[in-house]
Amino acid sequence: MPTRNTRTPQSRNRSAPKLRPRVHVQRATRAVDVPSAHRLRAWARAACPPGAEVTVRVVGIREARSLNTTYRRRADPTNVLSFRYATGAAVHGDIVLCHPVVLREARAQGKTSAAHYAHLVVHGILHLRGFGHARRAAAARMEALERRILRRLGVADPYALAPAAPCVAR
């Protein structure tokens, strides 16, 4: 019979390892000023929970318009679309960013394209996680989380330059 604790200190309070989010990047545009795959992954991972699997796809106007028409019944391209593939706690899905729209919005809002890309990647990931902005309270929660994540990434508050009203779906 052992007279002392035979467990090693390393085996005490050992929790399951956290699975790093897997982020795949696809570039479906010939534009040269798209952020690097490394930056897109970093922005996505900052908003992803452990174990998530996400694809970030950067596209042109034609593909963005087609996807927006097919899935949202809106004829114009949009800045970001999110497609969630799994239900429950796991986050699996795609985020599609329209490069020309992102650049146009960044210029109009007086932001760098990198800051706007970071915001939209985080925004898209939060949609995959189940956050939304159809109602004021939900929009306020989502925006607060976006601000917190972006602050950790060193990105300025994206809503500071925008009107004070929360982002509410049209």
pLDDT tens track for 28-74: 999 999 999 999 999 999 999 999 999 999 999 999 999 999 999 99
**pLDDT for 15 beyond 90:** no
| Architecture, CATH, for domain 20-132 | 3-Layer(aba) Sandwich (3.40)
Give residue 164's identity as a one-letter amino acid code.
A
Which of 120, 148, 69 shows the shortest CA–CA distance to 112? 120
**pLDDT for 146 beyond 90:** yes
What pLDDT score does 160 carry?
87
Give residue 119's identity as a one-letter amino acid code.
H
**pLDDT for 1 beyond 50:** no
CA distances from 3 to 6, 11, 25, 96 (A): 9, 18, 56, 61
Phi first, then psi, for residue 101 (nearest 5°) are -70, -40
Q: Supply the pTM of this predicted model.
A: 0.83
DSSP state of 9: G
- pLDDT tens, residue by residue, 85-136: 976 778 899 999 999 999 999 999 999 999 999 999 999 999 999 999 999 9
| Alpha helices in the chain, H assignment, sequence order | 37-47, 61-72, 99-109, 113-128, 136-152
What pLDDT score does 89 carry?
72
